Amino acid sequence: MRILTCSNSCPRWDSDGIAPRSPGGLVPMLVSLLNEHGGHWVFTAPPDLPDVPDEIRLDEDIRLHPVEPGEEMRRQHYDVVSIQLLLGLLHYMHDTSVQPVFDSAMRDAWAGYEAVNQSYAKRLSELSDGSPDELILINDPHLMLVPEFFVESRASVRGRLSYFLGTPWPEPDYFSILPAHLRVRILTSLLHCDVVGFHAARWADAFLACCARYLPDARVDGRSVTHAGHRTDLVATPFPLDVTVLDRMVGEEATQRWRTHLAERAGGRKLMLRADRLDLWKNIPRGFLAYEILLERRPELARQCWFAAVVTTPSRATGRHQEYADLTEEIVRRVNARFAPDGLDAISLIRPGRGGDSRNCVVAGLSMSGAALVNSTFDGLNLFAKEAAYLIGDESSLLLSGNAGAHERLGRFSVTVDPFDLEQTSEAMEAALDGRLGSSDRAARRALLRAESVSRWLNTVFRL
């Protein structure tokens, strides 16, 4: 087995090996994969590390290959197309009354997106030895054209080529936001792969529906698509939760420090926790607004409960991100001005930063929470939901958006919230904080998550 993987996201590295730059998302999964099996990892060079070499040899088994696009190309590829256009599309985030606009500026940005994808495919082709036991894994919406460029650069691909998308996939009507030639281009590129994977079956089904509508020459049969003589299988296989890491972190000194800090801020009150990056689809403002509605009904709860959100900032925040962060902070100030007990916050934003103990903060919070909230508008998976399901106690509740990919497996262990319905979310919060929801089967949810593994995920995403 020889693994080659590509992603926009990148790890940290030093003489001791590789590690995630932040908790959650794709990178911890790829770190586990390469630490277990070895291989080559092609990724976008981080902008905070200038003059990074083209190849980094960590040991005999792991090679890193940063791709440096340059600042203008990075802006076109990452900011304009990958973040503003594609992530907006995949998460249903576009205000279609005014966006997106496909004009000459977008055409130029798309050319930059193509160029970066070509550079990835070129590096991948140079690393590929064409052996039958080669497993090539492409990730991230930033790299949707890599399969096309890679396959067309080679006489044949004898190994297995898979693409995994950690985001949702929109239904055909919403996918039509893209012009026809871009819709077809993206779909046909991904159908060069042997397998296309998602975190949840609903995202795979939406992709199949888009193929059926927009590729007249494609044949959809169950969970497979045949196009241009090539068959692509669709799989739903969520990233596994590394429970060994969580078990270890529960007892770490950094976790205990955070428990002490959070307990001081809680002041003896029951804690409701959420943890998110300040991405638009995480729906943090509506979560706080729902809690404000609850406090309007029952203002005494502010003396009994504390709602804390552990938040991190995207690496390249857009103007919309800043507006979203400003709105979140405005709501926090208003709710605290209206309801906070003397010397305490009713709701709080906790920013542990990008240091090594940021995840310890989340682990500490979950281990002492009476409720955990995930109310994403549309979310590919949401790893925090899985961490909550594993760590919260018997009498604690997980409030989980029906539009989070994690809901597919964890729905039976959680209370489903409608991410757009503030009253329904508010009522679910009230029931959880009052202890009226009963206990879920902690042993069963922990057993479900313990059964996951990197090897099982790898076997599924490559259909081995």
Q: What is the mean pLDDT of residues 7-23?
A: 81
Would you say residue 358 lies in a domain? yes
Residue (of 325, 347, 343) closest to 429 by Cα position = 347
Does 342 lie in the same domain as 290?
yes
Least confident of 261-270, 346-355, 360-369, 391-400: 346-355
pLDDT at 23 over 70: no
pLDDT at residue 188, rounded to an integer: 98
pLDDT category of residue 211 using cuts at 50, 70 and 90: very high
pLDDT at residue 1, rounded to an integer: 85
Q: What is the mean pLDDT of residues 14-35?
A: 80
Does 167 lie in the same domain as 264?
no
Does 86 lie in the same domain as 153?
yes
Does 367 lie in the same domain as 394?
yes
Question: 0.75 cut: is pTM over it?
Answer: yes
CA distance 30 to 35: 8
Domain limit, last residue, from 213, 236, 259:
236
Q: What is the mean pLDDT of residues 428-438?
A: 91
pLDDT at residue 254, rounded to an integer: 95
pLDDT at 28 over 90: no
pLDDT at residue 443, rounded to an integer: 93
Six token digits for residue 403:
């539009």
Q: Strand runs (DSSP E) across 173-223, as ranges?
A: 195-198, 219-221
Q: What is the mean pLDDT of residues 23-35?
A: 81
Q: Is 278 within 8 Å of 313 (Cβ atoms)?
A: yes
pLDDT at 33 over 90: no
Would you say residue 459 lies in a domain? no
Q: What is the mean pLDDT of residues 44-70?
A: 86
How many Cβ atoms sit within 10 Å of the Cβ of residue 427?
A: 17
pLDDT at residue 26, rounded to an integer: 83
Would you say residue 66 lies in a domain? yes
Helix or strand holding residue 21 (H, E)? none
pLDDT at 214 over 70: yes
Q: What is the mean pLDDT of residues 293-315?
A: 94
Q: What is each CA distance from 242 to 15, 245, 259, 387, 450, in whole angstroms? A: 23, 6, 21, 9, 8
Would you say residue 463 lies in a domain? no
Does 17 lie in the same domain as 166?
yes
Six token digits for residue 312:
């991190």
Six token digits for residue 390:
């594993």
Domain limit, last residue, from 236, 271, 306:
236
Taking only the tens place, the pLDDT of each residue in 398-408 is: 999 999 999 99
Number of domains in the chain: 2
Does 255 lie in the same domain as 204?
no
Would you say residue 351 lies in a domain? yes
Average model confidence (pLDDT) across the chain: 94
Does 400 lie in the same domain as 278?
yes
pLDDT at residue 319, rounded to an integer: 85
Q: What is the mean pLDDT of residues 125-137?
A: 93
pLDDT at 27 over 90: no
Write phi, then psi, for 62 (nearest 5 degrees). -125, 130
Does 215 lie in the same domain as 164?
yes
Q: Is 362 within 8 Å of 384 (Cβ atoms)?
A: yes
Taking only the tens place, the pLDDT of each residue in 76-115 is: 999 999 999 999 999 999 999 999 999 999 999 999 999 9
Does 264 lie in the same domain as 164?
no
Does 232 lie in the same domain as 305?
no
Does 257 lie in the same domain as 231?
no
pLDDT at residue 356, rounded to an integer: 64
pLDDT at 304 over 70: yes
Taking only the tens place, the pLDDT of each residue in 323-354 is: 999 999 999 999 999 999 988 999 999 998 76
Domain limit, last residue, from 210, 236, 262:
236
Would you say residue 464 lies in a domain? no
CA distance 5 to 163: 10
The structure tokens 């490559």 sit at 462
pLDDT at residue 193, rounded to an integer: 98
Would you say residue 456 lies in a domain? no
CATH no. for residue 438?
3.40.50.2000
Does 387 lie in the same domain as 294?
yes
Q: What is the mean pLDDT of residues 231-253?
A: 95
pLDDT at 305 over 80: yes
Would you say residue 458 lies in a domain? no
CA distance 453 to 54: 31
Boundaries of domain holding 72: 2-236
pLDDT at residue 149, rounded to an integer: 97
Six token digits for residue 287:
């979560």
Taking only the tens place, the pLDDT of each residue in 441-463 is: 899 999 999 999 989 999 999 98
- CA-based radius of gyration for the chain: 22
